[in-house]
Structure 1
Amino acid sequence: MSGGVGDNGGDIHNNPTAHGDYSIAANDIKKVIIKWVMHPSARWLPLLLACAVVVIAWTGWPDGPARQYALWGTLAGLSLVTAAARVLNRRPRDARVVGTLSLVSVLATVGGWLAFQSVRTHGEIDVTGQVRTQGTQPLDDAARRSLTLLLDAPALEKPRNALRLTLAIADHNPAAPTCLPDTTATVSLLTSGAAAQPTTIRPGGTVDFTLGARVSTVRIDVRLHTARGCRMDVQTTGAVLHDN
């Protein structure tokens, strides 16, 4: 009796159709994929997808330095090149080559799109031209006057949590002896009317402020420290919003 059970169990376990059905189904799927990939009309799909993503990205191009789009540009170029190679291969003989070109193009297109969206969400935004200045110049150390640099809602439309600021400080009278070696500036972020995060920088120096989330206005106080009798002009040469 035990032998009979063993025979039945062996028949079920070793039944050639147990794995044969899966093998047949896999072969059928493979044939369908190969037939679709090798079809003349299918060769255009990766190229159309890559071109559509490039056009959409171009129309929604945000601000910021070009270097932050290097990954997107590399992947977009790869997707276009492999898709074009697939189109130019009019009489493919090897389905593996065709499938590889199509797969690489689609994956590069998707990866490039994700990289582009990451830059749109977290990339740097140049707002140098949108910085407003309140106060009169030139500045000197004796008068204890200061400038206020302002960024309003339009510049802060795309939320970022930090601001990188670069200031140029120059002699008001270029013909007089230079005061630059003796000149610094204390730059402070104003929050609720009080100065916070004070940082001392030299002419041409850069300071990074943490803004927090969803700020509507940024106010920065600039106080000059220089030698007696020196009068200086202060100008914003760089203002970049970014995420820490």
Structure 2
Amino acid sequence: MTNDVTSAIPDASAGTGSPEGDGSPRPPWLRRAALRVRDAAAGAWVITLLLLADLVTVLGAGAVWLTLGGDPAVVGVTAAALLAFAAAMLPLIARRGPDGQPPLWPPFVLVVIPLAVLAVGLPALGTWIFLDSRPVDVTHRVALDGAPPLVNGDTVVATVRTDDPKPRLTIAFDVAPHNPAAPVCVPGTKLTVTSKAGAGRDQVRTGVPGEKFTFGLGRGMREVELSVLLDAEPGCEVNLSVASAHLDD
């Protein structure tokens, strides 16, 4: 009778086995992922590869961040903190728990760090590339040194200053009568625009008001000067302004 009763009582040790054993409830997804990483990182060479991936990812992301203008102090502190955190996991990996199993989370952390850096860094880099490829409107950053009214043969220097240099400038000028009551002579006005600095120095463009002139500037030009020569009909007095100006690649 005693044997029958004993056999009917469930074995308490059956629930302490593997959390993924038959009939046991499945652990949360994060723990399942950590278990898979721990099992895959059983060999020392795998841990070495994970640590190398951490080094390459963190230092590479830091170098890109620094190249794109990141604060060196912030980049250095962030990279050092991530690398120190990864290094702190290495002594824990060699330990064994009461059941003789290796620890669960240190190998998982070595995988998560490069994945987190890539998950944040790649979209940020893609966004920066997209924004950097867009033209920069510098219409309101063009200064004209000529005082109206302007007549035939006058020359105006247009200066463009920017903190976001790009290798090409496209600019258009507008001409309007200085005295609205005077005879209309704007349609016969022509402009000769010459670049005065940079790799594209002495490029000459001739056209009419409203036409877009494009100049190659070279890399890193934060200040561009253009000479605008006015070719107007005799007796005409006009005002010169900038209709549009854009820097792009």
TM-score (ref. length: structure 1): 0.49
Structure with higher Rg: it is 2
- Of Structure 1 and Structure 2, the greater helix share is in 1
